[in-house]
Each structure stands twice: as C-alpha cells, then as structure tokens.
Amino acid sequence: MRKVTHFAIICLFALLLVNNPFTAQYVFGLRTESESAIKQKDSLYTEIVNRSTDYYIPPQDAVIDRVWKAIPGLNGVEVDVEASYKKMKSEGKYDKDKLVFKQIKPKINLSDLPPSPVYKGHPEKEMVAFIINVAWGNEYLTDILATLKKHHVSASFFLEGRWVQNNPDLAKMIDAAGHELGNHSYTHPDMAKTSAEKTREEILKTNEVIKATTEKSVQWFGPPSGSYRDETVLIAAQEKLGTVMWTVDTVDWKKPTPDQLIQRVMGKVHNGALILMHPTDSTAKSLDRLIIQIKNKNLQIGTVSDVLNTERTMDKK
C-alpha cells in the first residue's frame, strides 16, 4: 500500500511539472524554474535591458582614408546586462552608477586592410603617443627616460639598427624601462629611393639586431625622415611590420626652445595624435611640462600600439 501511495505522489508531481509554463530543471528542493525565466519576470532586469539601449555605441571599422591613409577602428560599447543585474539585485532597484559596460570589437581591423601607412589613431580615442626616433643623442636619453618614468608614461622608441649594434646597453635600458621598440631601418637611408632588395635588408637586419639585443620582436616600422614609397610599405608588411608616420612633429632637431616646442605640439595635439621627437636637448628640457599639459587636456599618453589598438580609453564612451 505504501509503495502505491509513493507512486501516486510521484505521478501527480510529474503532472504538475508538465503543466507548469516554466520548464522545471530540477525537483525535490532543487531549482524548478530556469534562471533566465526568473530574470525575465524581474522588473529590475527588464529595466536594465530597456535602458541599455541608451548607452549603446556601435563599433567602428578600420578604414583607408584618402588623405590620412590607414585609420584604426574603435570598439563599440554596450551594457553588460548580466553583470549590471548582479550588482543591483541586492538592493532591488535600478542605479545607473552600477551599470557595467563591455566593449564590442569592430569587424575590420588595421591588419585586415591592404598595406598602408598609419599617421594617427582613431579621432575619437582620447590618447596620444610619443614616437622617439633614435639614431643619435645618447647624452639626452637618460633624462628623457627619467621624465617618462616620473610621469608613468610609456613611449615608442624607434631604433636604428646600427645604433643598437653600437649601443646595446642603452637599447636594453630603454627596453627594461618598459617602452615599446620599433624598427627605424639599419643605416637611416632614404627609403623612397632604395631598391626593394636594400629596403628588405634594412628592415630585416634591424629586426635581427633588436631581437638579439633585447630579446624583443617589433611590430612597427618608422621610415627615416618619413620618406617611403608604396613598395616600402608593402615590403614592411611582408615582414609583419606596420608602417607608422606621425601627426605632430616637434621639429626638435632644429633646437627650438622648450616654450617653442611645447607651443608647437599643444597647438596641434588632438585625439589619436602620434607625436614625433628625438633625443635632443630641446625634448629633454620640455618633456616634463609637455606631459603635464597633454594630460591636462584629458588625453592619455601611451605607446603607438596603445593608440592604434581598438580599445576605448573610457568605460562608458
């Protein structure tokens, strides 16, 4: 009799589950309604979903501009509904300050474009980079590195291969300080006039000496004096290097005063700018003030790779 009663109870319970509009996943004290179904009935969850459309920013693909050549894409932004709900559910009410955001990657990146030089980052990315081309100026490097360290700034040092060969300790010092290394050719030729064979040799030899000295591989090539032709960019791409130019030139090799150098940069700096400099007395003396003024414009300072990647600099925008 007891076995029949137990069987009847089980049958009745199964019948109730079948007729329940929400699919039961577990029985006898375990979860009986899917977690997603519970959330869908929660007014807080629904409100987060509905309000999330106000914050959506679509990702932007990398493009080749007629004037500026290759321009990197930029991540979009959307509300992370699940994470936001988790933060708010303990109080049970909507709080925009507890919204959690996540970035959405674009479909087309720089690496997907045909080989083309890059002159600047995305115009909505609130970040700039220092490009420091090094083929001479050893006496100013220590001060420049000290100033960058003081402000917790990472820069991109584009090194001439011949210079690295002759100054391995300085190359290692730059690398040890956490800065990005780039390829600035081996002998600083006019790349617009060199043969394809010579161009490849200049790039490969510099890659090799930087790797042998610092154990680091590089991903960017900066043509000396900004001189190149389409074939130069193509050869660099074949060797897995992107070609980088600049947006703002300090013209520090002309020995401007610190005030002149700062005025020149601050009058032109903008989102995504790549700022060209060298290890000179002018740069060493102006760098501290320049960093402060750039940061006061709410611009972050990073490496070339930082500026050219698709990551946004702010959580919500």
CATH classification of the domain holding 267: 3.20.20.370
Q: What is the pLDDT of residues 253-272, one digit of tens each?
A: 999 999 999 999 999 999 99
110 shares a domain with 120: no
Residue 34 has a pLDDT of 55
Q: Is residue 81 part of a domain?
A: yes
Assigned domain for 317 exists: no
Is it the case that residue 287 has pLDDT exceeding 90?
A: yes
Asked, for residue 242, whether it belongs to a domain, the answer is yes
- 233 and 95, same structural domain? no
Residue 245 pLDDT > 70? yes
- Does residue 316 form part of some domain? no
- Last residue within a domain, chosen from 114, 139, 170: 114
Last residue of a domain, one of 114, 138, 156: 114
**Is residue 80 located within the same domain as residue 164?**
no
80, 68: one domain = yes
Q: 204 and 121 share a domain?
A: yes
Mean pLDDT of all residues in 76-103: 94
Residues 150, 299: one domain?
A: yes
Q: Summarize pLDDT for 159-181 with one digit per residue, the tens.
A: 999 999 999 999 999 999 999 99
Question: Are 171 and 75 found together in one domain?
Answer: no
Looking at the structure, tell me whether residues 83 and 220 fall in a common domain.
Answer: no
Token couple for 210: 């930087």
192 in any annotated domain: yes
Residues of the domain holding 132 = 115-308
Token couple for 205:
């030899």
- Is residue 127 located within the same domain as residue 196? yes
What span, in angstroms and rounded, lies between the C-alpha atoms of 274 and 247?
Answer: 5
Q: Does residue 213 form part of some domain?
A: yes
Give the residue from 97, 114, 131 where a domain finishes: 114
Residues 196 and 170 in one domain: yes
Residue 313 in domain: no
5-53 per-position pLDDT tens digit: 555 544 555 454 445 444 444 444 444 445 555 565 689 999 999 999 9
| Total tally of structural domains belonging to the chain | 3
Are 46 and 25 in the same domain? no
What pLDDT score does 79 carry? 96
Note whether 253 and 105 are same-domain residues. no
Is residue 218's pLDDT more than 80? yes
Query: Within a domain: residue 315?
Result: no
